[in-house]
Amino acid sequence: MEMIDKALSAFGLQRKSASVTFHRQDGMVADSLSGMALSGAAGEVVTTRASLGLSAVWACSNLISGTLSSLPFELTLATDGGVAKAATDHPLHSVIYESPNFDQTALDFWDFMNLSIELWGNAYASVVREGRRIVALYPIKPDAMVVRRLANGPLEYRWTDGGKSYTQLDRNVLHIRGPGGNALGGMSTLSFGLQAFSSALAADRAAASMFKNGLRPSGIIAFKEWLNPSERERAESLVEKYVGAVNSGKPFIVEGGMQYSHLSISPEDAQMLETRQFSVEEICRFFQVPPALIGHAGSSTAWPTSVDQQVLMFTKFYLRRRVKRIEQAVRKQLLTPEDRAKGYSPRINMDGLMRGDSSSRAAFYQTMTQIGAMTINDVCDIEGLPRKPGGDVPRVQMQNIPITQTEGAEE
């Protein structure tokens, strides 16, 4: 195994396992068995940088990672009343909520981790402890990681950073896996979306090539006689004079028996609008993002017409699994069995995403305060308003009593 690893590293490759996708150090997608770089059927080699150059990939990955990283990530403790409160006195709370390490804010750290999951299918962080206390988390580039199962059971993580090699067991590495559930690693979107990304890159390249030539229809310049070398050179220089977007629309001089014939190509064909639109929708399907949320109308009839409903659907069906994946990984790997037994649990607070407009919230609060489920100060806390004196007392309407207690009930 050591010889194989050394041979692969000489070519800039990393071996994850026989059944898990390789990634080269430069982010190039590679075959799961041979480790060699792959290109899609469209002929474009898919790399991380090239994929993020596609506006749909950039928008989808940043929408998901930015949304999740901006949500409060708290460590909570279940109280006797069954309500989870923020456990600010626990050392892990400040690490995941405020400052994971010396260099990064919580938003920076979790943005990196979520983006790693979306693109590579795995997110890694080195765990720094002082005794039993976790004091810092440092993110690790997922394309630099090698994971293997040791003969005695634990997982071993090896990576390089700044020219230095590191080897740690699973206790000292936070590993959040993407789709698939494999202990060695999740499924990479870059690998499984290879064909869609390659086709989109090819369409972009073809469209750019057409723009480079000025989007002018291709044409044929015909001469009645064979040209001598000097005439051919002159004709070629004349063609070069009119090529390019800056020369589009410039009058073309025809002389010496020259005949110019258009080969008509519509602008729609030149830009391949339909192909590129389909590529956007394909990429959205891979990332599970409604196209409207990245500024693409697409086939709007296939989605709820209200943006609020699309956001709700995105949150409930697509973000929820991502949130639970992160919460459960942190709970299992960073909390001790004693902490879990006491009721400590990490929580990504999604209340902000579920909030409706001001009218909807006002109607909800009115109903909840009238039936005594919420107090006035509960509403103030949620809305970030100053607490009111006497606002901690639940209230109910006087007329909301059993019908048998009304006057004249016996009549």
Whether residue 82 sits in one domain with residue 31: yes
Whether residue 65 sits in one domain with residue 88: yes
Nearest-angstrom CA–CA distance, 82 and 89: 19
Q: Flag whether 411 is in a domain.
A: no
Q: Which domain holds residue 247?
A: 218-263
The total domain count for the chain is 3
pLDDT value of position 25: 39
**CB count in 10 Å sphere of residue 134:** 21
**Which of 275, 314, 277, 279 shows the shortest CA–CA distance to 293?**
314
Rounded (5°) CA angle 119-121-126: 105
Taking only the tens place, the pLDDT of each residue in 130-147 is 988 999 999 999 988 999
Q: What's the pTM?
A: 0.71
Task: Classify strands 73-78 and 344-348 as parallel, antiparallel or unpaired.
Answer: antiparallel
**pLDDT of 116 strictly over 90:** yes
Taking only the tens place, the pLDDT of each residue in 193-209 is 888 888 887 777 777 76
Answer yes or no: are the C-beta atoms of 107 and 79 closer than 8 Å.
no
Whether residue 242 sits in one domain with residue 173: no
Q: Which residue has the higher pLDDT, 181 or 8?
A: 181
Whether residue 286 sits in one domain with residue 187: yes
Whether residue 160 sits in one domain with residue 95: yes
DSSP string, 65-118: HHHHHHS-EEEEEE-TTS-EEE-TTSHHHHHHHT-SSSS--HHHHHHHHHHHHH
Q: Flag whether 234 is in a domain.
A: yes
Answer yes or no: are the C-beta atoms of 188 and 14 closer than 8 Å.
no
| Owner of token pair 């949130």 | 323
Domain endpoint, select from 263, 279, 297:
263
Q: Flag whether 228 is in a domain.
A: yes
pLDDT confidence tier of residue 383, bands split at 50, 70 and 90: confident
User: What residues contact residue 86 under an 8 Å CB cut-off, 6+ apart?
Assistant: 74, 75, 76, 77, 93
Sign of the CA dihedral with 351 first, then 355, 358, and 363 last: negative
**Burial classification of residue 30, based on how many CB atoms lie within 10 Å of its CB (0-12 exposed, 13-18 middle, 19 or more buried):** buried
Q: Flag whether 283 is in a domain.
A: yes
**Which of 152, 146, 99, 149 shows the shortest CA–CA distance to 124?**
146
**pLDDT of 191 strictly over 70:** yes
Whether residue 222 sits in one domain with residue 196: no
Whether residue 160 sits in one domain with residue 41: yes
Q: Flag whether 190 is in a domain.
A: yes
Taking only the tens place, the pLDDT of each residue in 330-354 is 999 999 999 999 999 999 988 767 6
Whether residue 274 sits in one domain with residue 243: no
pLDDT value of position 18: 39
Nearest-angstrom CA–CA distance, 75 and 146: 30
Least confident of 14-28, 85-99, 190-204: 14-28
Q: Flag whether 80 is in a domain.
A: yes
Taking only the tens place, the pLDDT of each residue in 268-321 is 555 556 666 778 888 888 898 888 888 877 655 555 566 667 777 888 888 999
**Which amino acid would we find at residue 337?**
P
Whether residue 223 sits in one domain with residue 209: no
**Which amino acid would we find at residue 83?**
V
**Which of 276, 226, 245, 368 shows the shortest CA–CA distance to 42?**
276
Q: Flag whether 134 is in a domain.
A: yes
Whether residue 163 sits in one domain with residue 223: no
Whether residue 191 sits in one domain with residue 336: yes
Whether residue 343 sits in one domain with residue 397: no
Q: Flag whether 410 is in a domain.
A: no
User: What residues contact residue 102 under an 8 Å CB cut-off, 6+ apart?
Assistant: 136
